[in-house]
Amino acid sequence: MARIDSPSAVANDISEAILSSPGWARVAITHPRAELRERAAAEIALAIVDKLSPWTPVDDPNQLRLAL
């Protein structure tokens, strides 16, 4: 996750998230059809949220794994 005290670190994380988003979304963001652009924008936004999300669970080696 990005360090809040460093705007350049946040910008770097966002650019990494954009570049790691699906290729179809990066291409479709420039498509003439509004529906496709909106779907692409949502996919890229999801990639950014996944990258910067503070609620993303972190594997704790001390946490006991239980089968559900």
pLDDT digits (tens, 9 = 90+) for 3-36: 456 888 889 999 999 999 999 999 999 999 999 9
Dist CA 11 CA 32 (whole Å): 28
Report pLDDT for 5: 60
Q: Mutual orientation of helices 34-52 and 7-20 as an angle, nearest 10°? A: 130
pTM of the model as a whole? 0.69
Give the three-state DSSP class for 48: helix
Percentage of the chain exceeding pLDDT 90: 54
Of the listed ranges 32-36, 41-45, 55-59, the one predicted with least confidence: 55-59
pLDDT at 56 over 90: no
* Rounded-to-10 torsion of CA 22, 27, 33, 38: 40
pLDDT at 59 over 90: no
